[in-house]
Chains A and B, each alone.
Chain A
């Protein structure tokens, strides 16, 4: 059972369009992170959301944490080819050592923005 479900799995759009991708869980989480992974590279942290209902903006990207802290969304306005990549949500979880933060990832949304 996947702790984090991301949708859609694949998304192909034209430059200039808007899009939203989702990250959902049946569990409540204290915080959630969004990463972008470009081909041939490692994931890069975009944002961490902590408070239920929180909205964070990063240029054309808007991240929202659900009020119940069980879901999150990423909205991209006027997508550009440079936005192409795999968008991953991740939960920082306490590891077996107690205070350690291992990351549990969703399987991601593969976004392609065509020029």
Chain B
């Protein structure tokens, strides 16, 4: 158990819909990272937040957004969902903004039908 929690574990929704994925980092960690894992693209970095502020962006679509709240939990919002958005979404956390030892949560499996 990494100490990072993610909810829900599974999510099934239809094209065009909007969903919110939630992540709680390890106790004491200030950075939260979001990753997407699909069979064709592998595990890809989406975005990082540190202590409530966006710090780094990867290949995140404009239809996707994230935020980190004062209690340090984070949410990833996915809108106008397409079939190709079906994937595993992982959250990871680390102590500092530049720490590269990241601890991953168990993931949310999103299926868009």
The count of residues in chain B whose C-beta lies closer than 8 Å to any C-beta of chain A is 28
Choice from A41, A102, A108 contacting B56 with Cβ under 8 Å: A102
Q: Give the chain A neighbours of B97 by CB distance below 8 A.
A: 97, 99-100
Q: Is B102 an interface residue (CB 8 A)?
A: yes
| B56 A107 Cβ-Cβ under 8 A | no
Among residues of A, the one whose C-beta sits closest to the C-beta of B97 is A100
Whether B105 pairs with A48 at a CB distance below 8 angstroms is: no
Q: Which of A42, A45, A95, A96 has the most CB of B within 10 A?
A: A42
Tell me, yes or no, whether A52 is within 8 Å of chain B by CB.
no
Partner of A95, one of B4, B35, B48, B94: B48
Q: Which residues of A contact B57 (CB under 8 A)?
A: 95-96
A42-B2, A42-B90, A95-B48 given as contacts; is B42 within 8 A of A107 (CB)?
yes
Closest A residue to B40 using CB positions: A107
A44-B99 contact, Cβ under 8 Å, with A102-B33, A108-B42: no
With contacts A42-B92, A42-B104, A42-B106 known, is A100 near B42, CB below 8 A? no
Interface residue A23 (Cβ < 8 Å from any Cβ of B): no
Complex Cα distance, B55 from A92, in Å, reads 15
B98–chain A nearest beta-carbon distance, Å: 4
Residues of A bordering B, CB below 8 Å: 31, 33, 40-45, 48, 88, 92, 95-97, 99-108
- Chain B interfacial positions (CB closer than 8 Å to A): 2, 4, 33, 35, 42-45, 48, 50, 55-58, 90, 92, 94, 97-107
Question: Other CB < 8 Å A-B pairs besides A45-B103, A102-B48, 10 of them?
Answer: A31-B100, A42-B90, A44-B104, A95-B48, A95-B56, A100-B48, A100-B50, A102-B58, A103-B35, A108-B42
In the assembled complex, 29 residue pairs joining A and B whose CB atoms fall closer than 8 Å, in A order, are: A40-B107, A41-B107, A42-B2, A42-B4, A42-B92, A42-B107, A43-B104, A44-B104, A45-B101, A48-B100, A95-B48, A95-B57, A95-B58, A97-B48, A97-B56, A97-B97, A99-B98, A100-B48, A100-B55, A100-B56, A100-B98, A101-B99, A102-B33, A102-B56, A102-B58, A103-B100, A104-B45, A105-B43, A108-B43
